[in-house]
């Protein structure tokens, strides 16, 4: 049965970040995710989780200079030391927040290096991070991002990501299958979900093409939720979308699921 985590980076933005935990609780969510926790002390966030009985479903490792357009650096040659330091940072937050899934952002391709150099760097870095996280029962997520929203991102297609995961060859490295990105780049989502089920560790959703509530756009999400059930997926589904108006007005689609 589909169960949903509120992405607090994108939902409830009508209030400051720390107030979004209460908003999500009042709306009926039982889990939260967000892009980055690092603007706040981990203990502060852990207190909010405990106050409302939330599970921390997911967060991202440090992405580099986000405001300058960086989107991680796991695949970027020459930044290996920075990546290893970011593993320590993410681990400290994951342990404090009780979070068992962390996403490593691959980065925008650096044309000063060959594609194979990016692949080699990625595999080495992901093996390092996954080995560190494995000691604490934490899974490391790899997420393809579509090249319309994030031009030049190292990995943009789901099956390409799975091939990289196979090369990494670590049992705790999984696919973060965002169906918004997947529809734009891959399509054929029912088949894709079934084919990649054994590699999938986390799901995220939004409408296509506008990235609003899943109740609009070109995707039949009730059908896809059934496909996820049939494929054996039982984890959280992250609501990573931009509300069309305000968050509460757009939650009608998820209320029947939250009330079960």
When divided into structural domains, the chain yields a total of 1
The yes-or-no verdict on residue 110 having pLDDT over 80 is yes
Q: Which domain holds residue 76?
A: 3-259
Residues labelled catalytic:
143, 240
Q: Residue holding tokens 């696919």?
A: 175
The yes-or-no verdict on residue 260 having pLDDT over 80 is no
Per-residue confidence (pLDDT) for residue 81, from 0 to 100: 98
Structure confidence by residue, pLDDT tens digits, 167-195: 999 999 999 999 999 999 999 999 999 99
Per-residue confidence (pLDDT) for residue 1, from 0 to 100: 80
**Stretch 37-60: mean pLDDT:** 98
| Nearest C-alpha neighbor of 27 from the set 47, 12, 48 | 12
Give the separation between CA 240 and CA 10, rounded to whole angstroms: 6
Structure confidence by residue, pLDDT tens digits, 202-222: 999 999 999 999 999 999 999
Q: Residues near 70 by Cβ (< 8 Å), separated by ≥ 6?
A: 63, 64, 107, 108
pLDDT mean across residues, the chain: 98
* Residue 46 near residue 88 (C-beta atoms within 8 A): no
Question: Residue ranges of the alpha helices (H) in 196-240?
Answer: 221-231
∠ CA 225-196-143 to the nearest 5 degrees? 85
| Nearest C-alpha neighbor of 101 from the set 50, 61, 131, 66 | 61
Give the separation between CA 121 and CA 77, rounded to whole angstroms: 6
Question: Residue ranges of the alpha helices (H) in the chain?
Answer: 20-27, 42-52, 80-97, 115-134, 158-168, 179-185, 189-195, 221-231, 255-258
Give the separation between CA 11 and CA 9, rounded to whole angstroms: 6
Q: Residues near 242 by Cβ (< 8 Å), separated by ≥ 6?
A: 10, 206, 210, 211, 212
Per-residue confidence (pLDDT) for residue 259, from 0 to 100: 85
Structure confidence by residue, pLDDT tens digits, 18-33: 999 999 999 999 999 9
Structure confidence by residue, pLDDT tens digits, 122-153: 999 999 999 999 999 999 999 999 999 999 99
Q: CATH number for the domain including 245?
A: 3.20.20.150
């Amino acid at each position: 049965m589909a169960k949903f985590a509120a992405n607090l980076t994108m939902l409830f933005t009508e209030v400051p970040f720390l107030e979004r935990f209460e908003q999500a609780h009042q709306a009926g969510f039982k889990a939260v995710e967000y892009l980055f926790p690092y603007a706040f002390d981990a203990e502060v966030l852990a207190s909010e989780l405990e106050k409302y009985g939330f599970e921390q479903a997911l967060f991202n490792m440090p992405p580099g200079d986000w405001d300058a357009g960086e989107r991680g650096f796991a695949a970027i040659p020459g930044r290996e030391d920075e990546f290893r330091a970011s593993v320590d940072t993410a681990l400290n937050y994951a342990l404090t927040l009780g979070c068992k899934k962390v996403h490593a952002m691959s980065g925008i391709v650096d044309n000063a290096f060959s594609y194979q150099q990016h692949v080699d760097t990625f595999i080495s870095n992901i093996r390092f991070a996954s080995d560190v996280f494995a000691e604490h029962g934490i899974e490391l997520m790899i997420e393809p991002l579509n090249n319309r929203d994030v031009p030049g991102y190292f990995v943009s297609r789901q099956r390409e990501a799975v091939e990289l995961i196979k090369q990494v060859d670590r049992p705790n490295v999984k696919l973060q299958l965002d169906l918004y990105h997947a529809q734009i780049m891959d399509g054929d989502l029912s088949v894709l979900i079934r084919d990649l089920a054994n590699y999938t560790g986390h799901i995220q959703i939004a409408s296509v093409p506008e990235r609003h509530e899943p109740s609009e756009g070109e995707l039949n999400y009730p059908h896809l939720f059934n496909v996820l059930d049939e494929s054996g997926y039982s984890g959280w589904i992250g609501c990573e979308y931009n509300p069309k108006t305000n968050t509460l007005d757009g939650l009608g689609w998820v209320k029947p699921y939250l009330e079960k």
